[in-house]
């Protein structure tokens, strides 16, 4: 049953919606100008791809350690650290593009990858707490704002490129704006989870961390890796991330090669995918409250599976486009549902969300090169069948997302 939102919850909700949009914007704005970065560094496409793997390694390192950091220091400190780290990371990338120094780019890419987790986990944990306080499914709205921010970032990059403004200047301008807004919104965005842990008397969030909580932070974070339900929720998130990330990387190429169409058609197909996913993240959330997480996850898996099959085996681009839209709708809700389920118990939300989101990081690090090898053998369109197979796996473990009430401990 929906609950009445307090001013603090409302403020947190709006602050986090903007934080998600900023996260998408700052990431998409610089990767959208890869040709300029390649030229500034004096490398070819293969060398640039190898350099970007360093960022993926940083993301994986951050994903594997963020649970400890959040449990030990809290979400506000982690988010502040991620914000400060991005200033250093993007600053180094800006210097690299200005000087052509590849070593600076490597350092900046690794720091940014690591700090991505320091931003991603705190904002998702706090968004899940907003959802818990409201008593209704709103987490997909935050992820929709990330998609909107990413689209905005691409437009910003296109605008700077069209105006013939250097990538160095663009990075510094975007970084200054994003950092300022993040700092302004830091306090309201993290107000709901700033204090921890759970009190034994009321089951509510306490007014200060206890020494025992701090001493047990590492044990708590590592313990989340041993929980079968948390790991299976990670599989759900991996499937959703793979469905979304593969479309980002390969869909336009699969359209161009598979249907022998101009590059613009491939870009439009991917744009249709993003629009379908974003719209369904806004409009599909009532389905979660009406039918439950498990049913929505299973229908999403069927939609993804069907959409990919229609795309791969369609005889024409027109019918394949229907598959793209269905695929986008199917990929929309898996990510927020998995994170919401991992946050059912607010006392352990940070470490569990860190574990679950690490599966997304692993997917983004491993999937592109593996799918690239597969695409070289069977074609980009046929390689998409991997997504259909993973959707079946997600369907089979969807029951793990069933809502579990947070335990309320009573003092003896």
Residues 6+ apart with CB under 8 A from 39: none
Q: Helix/strand/coil (H, E, C) string of the chain?
A: CCCCCCHHHHHHHHHHHHHHHHHHHHHHHHHCCHHHHHHHHCCCHHHHHHHHHHHHHHHHHHHHHHHHHHHHHCHHHHHHHHHHHHHHHHHHHHHHHHHCCHHHHHHHHHHHHHHHHHHHHHHHHHHHHHHHHHCCCCHHHHHHHHHHHHHHHHHHHHHHHHCCCCHHHHHHHHHHHHHHHHHHHHHHHHCCCCCCCECCCCCCECCCCCHHHHHCHHHHHHHHHHCHHHHHHHHHHHHHHHHHHHHHHHHHHHHHHHHCCCHHHHHHHHHHHHHHHHHHHHHCHHHHHHHCHHHHHHHHHHHHHHHHHHHHHCCCHHHHHHHHHHHHHHHCCHHHHHHHHHCCCHHHHHHHHHHHHHHHHHHHHHHHHHHHHHHHHHCHHHHCHHHHHHHHHHHHCHHHHCCCCCCCCCCC
- Asked if 168 and 224 sit in the same domain, the reply is no
Do both 207 and 68 map to the same domain?
no
Clarify whether residues 179 and 214 are in a common domain. Answer: no
Q: How far is CA 216 from CA 68, 77, 79, 176, 330, in A?
A: 10, 18, 21, 37, 39
For residues 48 and 144, membership in a common domain is answered with yes
CB 238 within 8 A of CB 304: no
Residues 156 and 171 in one domain: yes
pLDDT lower than 50: segments of the chain: 1, 196-210, 409-412
Q: Are residues 186 and 317 in the same domain?
A: no
Residue where a domain stops, chosen among 130, 162, 194: 194
* β partners of residue 205: 198
Residue 197, preceding bond cis, omega within 30 degrees? yes
Taking a C-beta distance cutoff of 8 angstroms, is the pair 136, 8 a contact?
A: no
The answer on 159 and 240 residing in a single domain is no
Asked if 190 and 219 sit in the same domain, the reply is no
Same domain, yes or no: 237 and 133: no
Single residue among 163, 194, 225 that ends a domain in this structure: 194
Task: Give the end of a domain, one of 194, 211, 234.
Answer: 194
User: Which sign, positive or negative, has the C-alpha torsion 127, 191, 16, 237?
Assistant: negative
What's the pTM value of the predicted model, to 2 decimals?
A: 0.78
Domains: count for the chain: 2
Domain of residue 246, CATH code: 1.20.1250.20
How far is 178 from 348, CA to CA, in rounded Å?
A: 29
- Do 185 and 205 lie in one domain? The reply is no
Locate 86 and state its tokens: 């991005």
Domain region containing 93: 1-194
CA 360/CA 352 separation, integer angstroms = 13
Same domain? 56 vs 16: yes
pLDDT in tens, 220-248: 667 778 899 999 999 999 999 899 888 87
Mark whether 158 and 212 lie in a shared domain: no
């Amino acid at each position: 049953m929906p609950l009445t939102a307090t001013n603090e919850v409302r403020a947190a909700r709006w602050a986090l919606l903007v934080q998600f949009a900023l996260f998408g914007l700052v990431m998409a704005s610089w990767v959208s100008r890869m040709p300029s970065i390649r030229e500034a560094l004096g490398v070819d496409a293969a060398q640039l791809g190898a350099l970007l793997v360093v960022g993926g390694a940083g993301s994986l390192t951050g994903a594997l350690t963020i649970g400890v950091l959040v449990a030990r220091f809290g979400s506000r400190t982690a988010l502040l650290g991620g914000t400060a780290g991005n200033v250093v990371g993007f600053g180094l990338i800006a210097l690299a593009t200005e000087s052509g120094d590849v070593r600076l780019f490597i350092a900046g890419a690794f720091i940014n990858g690591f700090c991505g987790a320091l931003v991603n986990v705190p904002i998702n944990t706090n968004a899940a707490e907003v959802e818990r306080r409201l008593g209704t499914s709103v987490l997909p709205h935050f992820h929709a704002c990330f998609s909107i921010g990413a689209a905005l970032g691409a437009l910003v990059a296109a605008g700077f490129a069209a105006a013939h403004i250097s990538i160095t200047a663009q990075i510094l301008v975007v970084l200054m704006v994003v950092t300022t807004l993040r700092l302004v919104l830091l306090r309201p965005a993290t107000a709901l989870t700033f204090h921890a842990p759970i009190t034994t008397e009321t089951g509510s969030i306490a007014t200060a961390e206890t020494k025992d909580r701090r001493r047990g932070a590492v044990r708590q974070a590592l313990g989340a890796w041993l929980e079968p339900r948390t790991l299976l929720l990670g599989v759900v998130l991996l499937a959703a991330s793979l469905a979304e990330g593969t479309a980002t990387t390969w869909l336009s190429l699969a359209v161009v090669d598979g249907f022998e169409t101009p590059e613009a058609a491939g870009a439009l197909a991917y744009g249709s995918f993003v629009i379908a996913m974003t719209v369904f993240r806004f409009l599909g959330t009532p389905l979660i409250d009406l039918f439950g997480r498990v049913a929505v996850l299973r229908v999403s898996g069927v939609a993804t599976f069907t959409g990919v099959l229609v795309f791969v085996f369609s005889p024409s681009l027109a019918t394949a486009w229907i598959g793209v839209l269905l695929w986008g709708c199917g990929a929309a809700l898996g990510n927020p549902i998995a994170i919401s389920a991992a946050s059912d118990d607010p006392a352990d939300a940070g470490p569990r969300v860190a574990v679950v989101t690490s599966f997304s990081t692993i997917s983004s690090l491993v999937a592109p090169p593996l799918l690239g090898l597969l695409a070289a053998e069977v074609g980009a369109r046929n390689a998409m069948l991997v997504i259909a197979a993973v959707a079946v796996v997600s369907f089979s473990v969807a029951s793990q997302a069933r809502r579990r009430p947070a335990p309320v401990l009573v003092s003896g």
